[in-house]
Amino acid sequence: MKDFEATLDPVGGRLITHDVRPPRHASYSSLDTYGHCPAQWAFGRLWRETPEWDDPLTVGSIAHATLELAVSTPSATDPAWLPLARRAIAMERERNLLPANRWKGDPIPAGVKAPNGSPATDEDWARLAANRLNGFRLTDVFDGDMLRPAAAEQRIDAEVWGIPMTGSVDYRDESGRVVDWKTGKLPELGSPKAKSHQNQLRVYKALLDTRGIQVADARDVYVEHRVHHMADLSDDAMEATGTLMRSRWDGMRRDADAGSYAMTPSYLCPWCPLARACPLASPARGDKARRAAARGIDPTDPRLHVADGRPAGDPLAGMLPDACGQGEDKEDDMDLLDMLDTAPKPKKATLPPPGPWTKGPDPWSTAEGREAAARWGMGDKPKREAKPDPSDDVDPWATPMPAKAALGSTDGGDAPWAVEPEAKPAPQAEAKPEAKAPTRRLVRGKAYDPSVLSEGAVNSAGYGFTRLTIMAAEAYAIGPDDPDATLLALIRAGWAASRAAWGANTPDVAGLAEGRPDAESLLRWLDSPLARDADEAIARLMPADGTPADRIGRAGRAAARALIAARDLIR
């Protein structure tokens, strides 16, 4: 495996590495990959994924070689594909022994397991390729016309649009028609994938033009679907493709010189080697995409870092300041006070200690409240004598738990639905020291009251208390094997995303960095609208695949970028 060092910058949205040499020539596939995501192109030159069973690149290569053999005898319009696929593997193996092709290696990847657990053989791969071609007839290429081969797998190296290009034309007919074989899903006309395929055909036409070969038409033939899409070869279309290719070539060389590559999410993200580590990666949708994403580089690989030097596997890499909970403001330049007015920055990010909580006025007891109640027919009802709710005086956190007993037990433990018998007077026992009161009391306040009340009481109606309960449920859904660690990761990710965007306006939470957050400062933070917005952003951006730490880390980094984007609009 190639040695390298690379850094992901989640805020700048770039991959930083100086281990990619500027290319001397370009193929269409390299320019296409760069156009989708420069970081994917660059990292693909550093790290190769290990192929798995039914790998589309391996199967596609065998299918192309099989078609090359088939068109050499065009009179056999309905060939036996499996024998041809076997011959194709042997042909490719022999070709790859040539000095110019040794970099390709063996056409069959080593170490791949078949679904039954046994090593995948040449025969297995031949059958996979033949299955893609079964039912396809050579007369499907030109709507019933017989093929008249002029060339197959014709390699051309030439300068087009000022770019030193290399390409291999799959099939060229004596009629001047050009074919590019496609295996896999049939794209919708006008989709990004279909447009990419059309650009590829125009590149092939430009290469053939340098050899004086006239191209009458060019088409993508989707062999599994027996469908073809024609390319627009007009002067305007050719010029547009040339401009696009030249722009990508210039960008590719410029980025390689600078060692910095933009991370641009697209539908191809699951097939990128950075799929598991990139903070901007689009989620994988479908089993095939999830399997492809799982083959990406391990986010904890020591050769891959984030901008602050933490391993990429840290869910909070690049977001959580080292001095969290110590009152140090690491991001004064992003302080919201600086954006909205000219007030001096506070020296510390911590908020002053809150005063003792006092109950606010009842809004219905004011003149405006009574008037509003009367308008809604609520003011003329006779008053009923208030009766105390005995549950108001019960502290559920201070009530001892009953002894455990088997469900419906009749031998030693009461069933949970059994009525407790009337207590009988017990003999006077020796006085014992009074038990220590619990440090927290759960009380029922108002929804607009803070979650932390006076004398350590916790308001069960407070927003922060409710938010903590909901986050605990989310943690069980994301990481049921270790919900406590998952809950802590969610809290830390939300806090860090908010601090990245709003600086000192996001208060410190004592002990959060160490994994032991102070209860009062945590609930005060969760009471805040900034916490609400950060948690909502993380929930909306949570990917569906990966480990809990990986998912939360990617969602947290994406949420930080989203909050920063919102912040920048009101600077």
pLDDT tens column, 515-560: 889 888 898 889 888 999 999 999 999 988 788 888 998 888 889 8
The reply to whether 125 and 157 lie within a common domain is no
Evaluate whether residue 327 is within a structural domain: yes
The reply to whether 344 and 473 lie within a common domain is yes
The reply to whether 162 and 130 lie within a common domain is no
End residue of a domain, out of 243, 277, 306? 243
pLDDT band at 386 (very low <50, low <70, confident <90, very high): very low
Q: In angstroms, how far is CA 277 from the centroid of its own chain?
A: 8
The reply to whether 77 and 155 lie within a common domain is no
pLDDT band at 362 (very low <50, low <70, confident <90, very high): low
pLDDT reading at 419 higher than 80: no
pLDDT band at 365 (very low <50, low <70, confident <90, very high): low
Write out the H or E segment, with its range, that includes residue 153.
strand 149-160
Where b means 16+ CB within 10 Å and e means fewer, 429-447 reads: eeeeeeeeeeeeeebebee
Looking at residue 349, what is its pLDDT? Answer: 43
The reply to whether 128 and 197 lie within a common domain is no
pLDDT reading at 304 higher than 80: yes
Evaluate whether residue 300 is within a structural domain: no
Looking at residue 265, what is its pLDDT? Answer: 87
End residue of a domain, out of 243, 274, 304? 243
Q: Which of 99, 515, 516, 520 is nearest to 507 (CA)?
A: 520
Looking at residue 413, what is its pLDDT? Answer: 41
The reply to whether 332 and 189 lie within a common domain is no
| Stretch 368-382: mean pLDDT | 56
Evaluate whether residue 428 is within a structural domain: no
The reply to whether 94 and 212 lie within a common domain is no
pLDDT in tens, 243-281: 999 999 999 999 999 999 999 988 889 989 999 888 888
Paired tokens of 470: 């909901």
Say what percent of the chain tops pLDDT 70: 75
Evaluate whether residue 430 is within a structural domain: no
pLDDT band at 374 (very low <50, low <70, confident <90, very high): low
| Stretch 427-438: mean pLDDT | 50
| Stretch 88-115: mean pLDDT | 91
Q: How many Cβ atoms are within 10 Å of 284's Cβ, its own excluded?
A: 22
pTM of the model: 0.57
Looking at residue 370, what is its pLDDT? Answer: 66
Say what percent of the chain tops pLDDT 90: 47
The reply to whether 120 and 217 lie within a common domain is no
Evaluate whether residue 394 is within a structural domain: no
406-420, 462-476, 520-534: least confident range: 406-420
pLDDT band at 209 (very low <50, low <70, confident <90, very high): very high
Question: Long-range contacts made by residues 70-73, C-beta under 8 angstroms, separation at least 24?
Answer: 70/138, 71/138, 71/147, 71/149, 71/152, 71/171, 72/149, 72/152
Q: What is each CA distance from 179 to 82, 202, 363, 566, in whole angstroms?
A: 22, 11, 77, 48
The reply to whether 127 and 200 lie within a common domain is no
Evaluate whether residue 478 is within a structural domain: yes
pLDDT band at 242 (very low <50, low <70, confident <90, very high): very high
Q: How far apart are CA 239 and CA 245, in angstroms?
A: 10
pLDDT reading at 290 higher than 50: yes
| Stretch 145-164: mean pLDDT | 97
End residue of a domain, out of 102, 135, 168? 135
Indicate the number of domains in the chain: 3
Evaluate whether residue 237 is within a structural domain: yes
Residue-wise DSSP of 265-321: --TTGGGSTTTTT-TTPPPP-SHHHHHHHHTSPPTT-TTEEETTS-BTTSTTTTTS-
Evaluate whether residue 102 is within a structural domain: yes
Show the domain range for 63: 56-135
Residue 171 amino acid letter: Y
Alpha carbons within 13 angstroms on the beta-carbon side of residue 502 total 18
33-37, 99-103, 192-196: least confident range: 99-103
